[in-house]
Amino acid sequence: NAGVMQNPRHLVRRRGQEARLRCSPMKGHSHVYWYRQLPEEGLKFMVYLQKENIIDESGMPKERFSAEFPKEGPSILRIQQVVRGDSAAYFCASSPAVSNEQFFGPGTRLTVL
Amino acid sequence: LAKTTQPISMDSYEGQEVNITCSHNNIATNDYITWYQQFPSQGPRFIIQGYKTKVTNEVASLFIPADRKSSTLSLPRVSLSDTAVYYCLVGRTGTASKLTFGTGTRLQVTL
């Protein structure tokens, strides 16, 4: 059973471009969570989704950030018009039910030039 | 959400037992205590979770006193590969979803 998959692992964008981060949860998991980690800091919750629904987006910046988890395909975290402050590691996690035991992917490291 | 306090860093020699204590004075009745491990450039990995007394699995033990205002993660006979950041989290499980990570404890194991 493959773990949580994220791609790309590394993403470089120039200011003003769009970044799309993909997450495929573990097989059988219908709950997906996105977190952001700045250097030397802990992870910060961004959004929690179930298939086709955003359940909790209290950690998402109000502008430029969006997330989806379609019926078919991976979950997508989209950042429009990236700025240097968006540079961070973005982690996706999944779980089979709402749980404190979440399975994390390897992360996508976004660098904004 | 209950706030947690952990030491910023700890050092240990290989083969020793390591105990990392976390304070959570405002823990709520329905809150569980969960520990994660994170290696550099990797996502966190669930280690153990408990509500009260003692929980043990193949990786670690978790000790929780009766008042639940603190907890101690115990790693028996650490090896170099246990060098990582360890996070203590407190929150309800089965309902609200988001995990709240602090800055964690950076454990450095040397020979």
Predicted confidence (pLDDT) per residue in B9-59, tens digit: 999 999 999 999 999 999 999 889 999 999 988 999 999 999 999 999 999
CA A20 to chain centre: 9
Q: How many contacts, defined by CB atoms under 8 Å, are there between A and B?
A: 67
Specify the 3-state DSSP secondary structure of A86.
helix
DSSP E strands: which ranges in A3-107?
A: 5-7, 10-13, 19-24, 31-37, 43-50, 53-56, 65-68, 75-79, 88-95, 103-104
Cα angle value B26/B38/A26 (rounded, 5°):
100
Residue A93 touches partner B, C-beta closer than 8 Å:
yes
pLDDT score recorded for residue B95: 55
pLDDT class for A1, splitting at 50, 70, 90? low
pLDDT at B96 over 90: no
Ranges of beta strands (E only) in A51-107 are 53-56, 65-68, 75-79, 88-95, 103-104
pLDDT band, residue A53 (cuts 50/70/90): very high
Predicted local confidence at residue B75, as pLDDT: 97
Cβ-Cβ contacts under 8 Å, B91 against chain A: 100
What is the residue-averaged pLDDT of chain B? Answer: 91
Tell me whether residues A35 and B99 touch, CB distance under 8 A.
yes
Among the partner residues B32, B43, B96, nearest to A91 by beta-carbon distance:
B43
- Distance of residue B8 Cα from the nearest chain A Cα, in angstroms: 11
Q: Do residue B43 and residue A105 have CB atoms under 8 angstroms apart? A: yes
Whole-number percent of chain A with pLDDT over 90: 81
Strands B9-13 and A10-13: unpaired
CA distance A42 to A110: 16
Is A18 touching B (CB cutoff 8 A)? no
Q: Do A106 and B97 touch (CB under 8 A)?
A: no
Q: Is the pLDDT of residue B67 over 80?
A: yes
- Mean of the per-residue pLDDT values of chain A: 93
* Strands ordered across the beta sheet of B32-38: B9-13, B105-110, B84-91, B32-38, B45-50
